[in-house]
Structure 1
Amino acid sequence: MKKHIVLLLVILGITSAFGQEDNRPENTGDNFSLEGALELFKNANSLEEFEKALNQENNQVNNLDLDGDGQTDYVNVEDIKENDSHMIVMSTYLNETEKQDIALIAIEKTNEGNAVLQIEGDEDLFPKNTIVEPSSEEKGAVQKLKADSNVAVVDNSAPTVNVWVWPSVRYLYAPSYVVWVSPYRWRAYPRWWRPWRPIAHSVFYGYRLRYHPHYHYVSVRRVTAVRNVYYPRRHSSTLVVHNRRGTTVIHKNRRGGVKAVKVRNTRVKAGRRR
């Protein structure tokens, strides 16, 4: 009888392990909304304001817990400027020295009154070359912004959307702009920040759907400075091990031992992209 009970417990344990594996998102980056980050960036008047918006629970853009402490990670924002290009890096600290990039907004001024923009998920958290940009549906919103703001903007005849009218873009190219680097670090966060417990991915996915209509996935990287300027400075933490079903965070103890902790949430099988 005891043998049967032990065998049953083993089977249940194996079944539970497989169930947990299936309950994680296909990629850990699915717990961060690239479309949502672009929407917050579009409406921000500064990078400081953008960073604050990313770290507010009610915006439902960030659901990451890469350091495995049971609370969402604080997202830092930093600008890397190169001539007429800006690379807005979103990242998080995993400890005092380890930093992991989450996503990158790349912007390039192509001529007077014209700029292109894309957001790319970091390859440690997203599939390689996961790139999102404003879709043609966003053009109507851009035209409305032009009318409301009374700003003369060159019409965009290319397939890409001209984002020059976005308040955040005009902020970056203003003569008085000073390159922004987040002043916050590991355990040195702003007083207003209140971390929260990550929610199940199936719930988070439903919340982030509201950001999808005006953005779409593309396969072409439009800002050439990304490869030459950003990648040599990219942060990829040695504590994060990427795999197809999620990210393993390695926690070191005082004696030098390590413990692997899987990121586990609910997988959404269909309708990931638009």
Structure 2
Amino acid sequence: MKTNLLLIVMLALGLSTFQAKAQTTVYAKNSDISDNLDLRAVASIFGESANLQDFERRLNDPKYQISNLDLNGDNDVDYLRVIESVENRTHVVIIQAVLDRDVYQDIATIDVERDNYNKVSVQVVGNTYLYGANYIYEPVYHVAPVIYTSFWVTNYRPYYSSWTWNYYPTYYYAWRPYPIYRYRNNINVCINVNNNYNYVNYRRSSRAPILYESRRSYGYEKMRPNNSFSQRNSSVKNRYELDQRRVASRESNRNNNVYNSSNRGNSNRVSSTENRTTANRTTNRNYAENRTNSNRTNRSNPGISNSNRENPVRVNTPAKTETSPRTETRRNYNENNMGSSRGNTENRNNTQRVAQTQRTEPARNYQENRRSTESRNNVSRPQAPQRSEPQQRSAQESRGNQGSREASSPSRGGGRRG
């Protein structure tokens, strides 16, 4: 029973794994075969390797995924093997794709040569069938690679990979090729930016091409003789010119997109401005026509009431009355204002005059009454006859004597009492 359960579980796991693998299959849509292996990345890992065996390991390490080539079309990235041809101070490292049993295709070569002054030059040369003629990168490393020390030693034996079809190292497993845009994003991380990768169109070594011919493999070229770079891209010479044309086309497309977007924005603005202007003109024209028609109607029919002011929704109804009543009203109002101001001024002056007359008249009446009262008193009271001077003097003397007598009388009485 337990054995049956284990078998069922294993079958279920196998089916689920197979379905997931079938669903995650991604087919590479290549714009060109040469897009699947960047020679700058090859030059970068070559400078970081300790020897050619380490270099081959880095080329096929699933962790780096330097290559995206699938030349045999089995939906797996091809294994890249490394072989070498040596003569004196010249080393030619050949990178080959393993396509089938005893079927290989050259991808690129690395020419390493030391001159009489012990100066080492390195050139990564792309295969003519894949990359076009004279597609060469010359790296300049910021630090001298360690791999140089392994080339010029006594009793040096050229490297020759022992791996072949269906016989691969344990660290390697085939992976599905990625779309080009994903491969480019991945490979940019693998390129050491501290180095310089200069493009040149000539080979420095005169011995390297001769050594290469002795180890050349072209299995893919035999299968597809009409699929070379010159036939795939007849308008350009090699991959470098193809990249330059791509950059130019991208820039032109970007400029066209910017220009079209700006034109769209400007056209929308212009159209909206024109629509607003047209609408304003139409509104002003209708308003002017309605105003003119209303003025004409009011002039021809002065008996029309102003009740149309209460209906602003209708456009054809006159919104304003004729201007002549307004001017007359304003004139009457001004005249009334002037008349009222004049009347007020006259009233104020009259009031001041009346007040002044009222103030002066009581003073006159008071004086006149006083005078009349005095005259009446004078009339009612008879005037006393005037005395003569002798009489006045005798009267005064008599008065004085009488006073002295009255003053002396108390003193007399007092003497008698005492």
Separation in 1 of the partners of 2:33 and 2:106? 13
Separation in 2 of the partners of 1:67 and 1:201? 18
Match of 1:193 in 2: 172
Separation in 2 of the partners of 1:212 and 1:122? 23
Alignment map for 1:46-57 (pairs within 5 Å): 46-57=51-62
Identity %: 27
Match of 1:180 in 2: 159
Aligned-pair CA distance for 1:236:
0.9
Aligned-pair CA distance for 1:176:
4.9
Q: Does 1:127 align with 2:132?
A: yes
* Structure 1 counterpart of 2:246, one-letter code: K
* Structure 2 counterpart of 1:269, one-letter code: R
Aligned residues: 203
* Structure 2 counterpart of 1:195, one-letter code: A
Separation in 1 of the partners of 2:130 and 2:61? 21
Structure 1 regions of 5+ residues with no counterpart?
1-22, 143-164, 248-266
Match of 2:187 in 1: 208
1:131–1:219 contact (8 Å) kept in structure 2: yes
Q: 1:71 to 1:109 in 2, by over 3 A?
A: same
Q: Does 1:270 align with 2:252?
A: no
Moved over 3 A (4+): 243-247
Aligned-pair CA distance for 1:217:
1.3
Greater relative contact order, per chain length (Cα 8 Å cut-off, separation 6+)? 1
Q: 1:240 to 1:193 in 2, by over 3 A?
A: farther
User: Per the alignment, in what secondary structure is the counterpart of residue 63 of structure 2?
Assistant: helix
* Structure 1 counterpart of 2:30, one-letter code: R
Aligned-pair CA distance for 1:118:
0.2
User: Per the alignment, in what secondary structure is the counterpart of residue 128 of structure 2?
Assistant: coil
1:24–1:246 contact (8 Å) kept in structure 2: no
1:108–1:115 contact (8 Å) kept in structure 2: yes
User: Per the alignment, in what secondary structure is the counterpart of residue 124 of structure 1?
Assistant: helix
Separation in 2 of the partners of 1:192 and 1:217? 33
User: Per the alignment, in what secondary structure is the counterpart of residue 218 of structure 2?
Assistant: coil
What does the per-residue CA deviation read over 1:49-69, in whole Å, with 9 as the maximum and x for residues that have no partner?
100000013323211011111
Alignment map for 1:53-132 (pairs within 5 Å): 53-132=58-137
Q: Does 1:171 align with 2:150?
A: yes
TM-score (norm 1): 0.68
2:111–2:208 contact (8 Å) kept in structure 1: yes
Q: 1:212 to 1:43 in 2, by over 3 A?
A: closer
Match of 1:3 in 2: none
Match of 2:30 in 1: 24
2:62–2:172 contact (8 Å) kept in structure 1: no
Match of 1:217 in 2: 199
Match of 1:33 in 2: 38
Structure 2 regions of 5+ residues with no counterpart?
1-28, 233-242, 249-418
Separation in 2 of the partners of 1:246 and 1:235? 20
Match of 2:315 in 1: none
Separation in 2 of the partners of 1:231 and 1:223? 14
User: Per the alignment, in what secondary structure is the counterpart of residue 87 of structure 1?
Assistant: strand
Separation in 2 of the partners of 1:38 and 1:175? 26
Separation in 2 of the partners of 1:212 and 1:129? 23
TM-score (norm 2): 0.45
Separation in 2 of the partners of 1:107 and 1:50? 14
User: Per the alignment, in what secondary structure is the counterpart of residue 103 of structure 1?
Assistant: strand
The CA RMSD measured in Å over matched residues stands at: 2.3
Deviates more, 1:233-242 or 1:107-116: 233-242
